[in-house]
């Protein structure tokens, strides 16, 4: 599919994340405007609250954009999702008869503060990248036992904390936790010493369900995607994860990018899941290409210094699609809600530069990573800024997500010493 030209000239650049083919959804405010829904187009944001108030956007009998989140639109279902995308395309396309109505409703992105684009109902994080799972398993169990027996049959996941999901640009505080040293028999309560990032994609559920749903029904229920960094305290996790898995190690924060890229925008970039080693049970079988060809990268900038690209990979490296993850999540009868967020699991490729976590890049701390600044890292240090970026490449354009950024702040003083 070629570039769809817009009268917003900045949207026609091959370097913008937000051409007319994209139209991602976010929430913004300015010095004079309260937080409200907006659609990115080039270097501008279309004010959806004003567009609806002035009748430029009129989709339903009740307003959808009088609140600073996109859940109201999600609840309307795919027919309204499509109607909005078609209307936005008509309004912003080159030669649109409505340009005079829309142009006053545009706000420069440079003047905007970006906020959480949705109310997260629940958060589930998966462990569904084969290269990542193999790397981690090899480190802790050896190559012969790298993958648990169930891994090639079901997408493994855990229920996280929706309350700890934050938008890009939010600082992250190094957590305290119970740590166990191999040199001591008992644990100590200390700040995490092995704090890490996880490069992931997040799928947003736009349709509620109550009972098992198929892979195709799950795919239809997905509203869009965001970049996701599931910050992880590896030392806290090492002590707590047996026998029940991640808990406090993953509860500090999960950062997401501020723009929701819709499934429709990503449609031209669908790609198949990898060849299966075992045939899936019926409820998980592949029904078509449900992954996406999205280039991903991570940069690390020590405090006050330039950034180094530490990882480059692609979302097509996943073993399970978001639709398979969502379908499996529903098998027990677990109700899924509008605004549920599903983390893909760490996305790594087959080579070292494609590893999506410092745990893998430094091989558990044994192989320090040297940055362009000359600094070395095994895990994150205070003041480090992590930036995730991603885009799908079209013919003369790209579908981008913006960035997902967070800076690690030092741990507070012992919270239990009064």
Active site residues: 132
**Which is it for the CA torsion 69, 73, 78, 82, positive or negative?**
negative
* 154 and 331 Cβ atoms separated by less than 8 Å: no
CB atoms within 10 A of CB 32: 7
Q: Do strands 195-196 and 232-233 pair parallel, antiparallel, or not at all (unpaired)? A: antiparallel
Q: Omega into 243 within 30° of 0, i.e. cis?
A: yes
Say whether 92 sits in a helix, a strand or coil: helix
Helix spans in 30-155 (H): 48-53, 71-74, 78-92, 99-102, 130-141
Kindly give, in sequence order, each residue whose CB lies less than 8 Å from that of residue 181, ignoring residues fewer than 6 positions away. 188
Residue 338, CA atoms < 13 Å, CB-side half-sphere: 13
Say whether 236 sits in a helix, a strand or coil: helix
* 42 and 11 Cβ atoms separated by less than 8 Å: yes
- The Cα 292–Cα 231 span in angstroms is 23
Name the burial class of residue 163, with classes exposed (0-12), middle (13-18) and buried (19+) by CB atoms within 10 angstroms of its CB: exposed
* 16 and 400 Cβ atoms separated by less than 8 Å: yes
3-state secondary structure 185-215: CCCEEEECCCEECCEEEEEEECCCECCCCCH
Structure token digits, residue 303: 């405090």
* 290 and 323 Cβ atoms separated by less than 8 Å: yes
Structure token digits, residue 248: 């406090």
């Amino acid at each position: 599919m070629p570039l769809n030209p817009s009268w917003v000239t900045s949207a026609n650049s091959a370097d913008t994340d937000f051409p007319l083919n994209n139209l991602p959804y976010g929430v913004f405010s300015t010095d004079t405007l309260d937080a409200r829904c907006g659609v990115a187009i080039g270097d501008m944001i279309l004010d959806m609250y004003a567009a609806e108030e002035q009748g430029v956007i009129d989709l339903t009998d009740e307003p959808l954009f009088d609140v600073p989140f996109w859940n109201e639109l999600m609840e309307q279902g795919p027919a309204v999702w499509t109607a909005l995308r078609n209307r936005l395309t008509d309004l912003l396309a080159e030669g649109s008869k409505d340009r005079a109505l829309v142009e006053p409703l545009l706000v420069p992105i440079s003047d905007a503060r970006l906020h959480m684009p949705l109310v997260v109902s629940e958060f589930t994080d998966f462990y569904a990248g084969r290269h990542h799972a193999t790397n981690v398993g090899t480190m802790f169990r050896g190559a012969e036992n790298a993958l648990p027996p169930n891994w090639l049959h079901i997408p493994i996941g855990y229920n996280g904390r929706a309350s700890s999901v934050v938008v890009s640009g939010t600082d992250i505080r190094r957590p305290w936790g119970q740590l166990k040293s191999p040199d001591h028999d008992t644990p100590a309560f200390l700040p995490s010493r092995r704090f890490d990032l996880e490069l992931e994609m997040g799928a947003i559920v736009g349709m509620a369900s109550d009972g098992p749903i198929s892979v195709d029904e799950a795919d239809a229920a997905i509203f869009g995607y965001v970049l996701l960094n599931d910050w992880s305290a590896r030392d806290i996790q090492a002590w707590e994860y047996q026998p029940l898995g991640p808990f406090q190690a993953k509860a500090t924060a999960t950062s997401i990018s501020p723009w929701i890229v819709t499934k429709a925008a990503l449609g031209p970039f669908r790609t198949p899941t990898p060849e299966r080693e075992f045939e899936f049970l019926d409820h998980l079988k592949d029904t078509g290409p449900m992954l996406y060809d999205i280039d991903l990268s991570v940069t690390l900038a020590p405090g006050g210094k330039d950034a180094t690209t530490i990882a480059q990979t692609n979302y097509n490296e996943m073993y399970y699609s978001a639709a398979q993850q969502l379908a499996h999540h529903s098998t027990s009868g677990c109700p899924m809600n509008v605004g549920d967020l599903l983390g893909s699991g760490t996305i790594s490729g087959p080579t070292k530069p494609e590893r999506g976590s410092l745990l893998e890049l430094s091989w558990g701390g044994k192989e320090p990573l040297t940055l362009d600044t000359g600094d070395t890292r095994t895990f994150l240090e205070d003041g480090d800024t992590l930036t995730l970026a991603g885009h799908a490449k079209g013919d003369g354009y790209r579908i981008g997500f913006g960035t997902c950024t967070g800076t690690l702040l030092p741990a507070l003083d012992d919270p239990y010493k009064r």
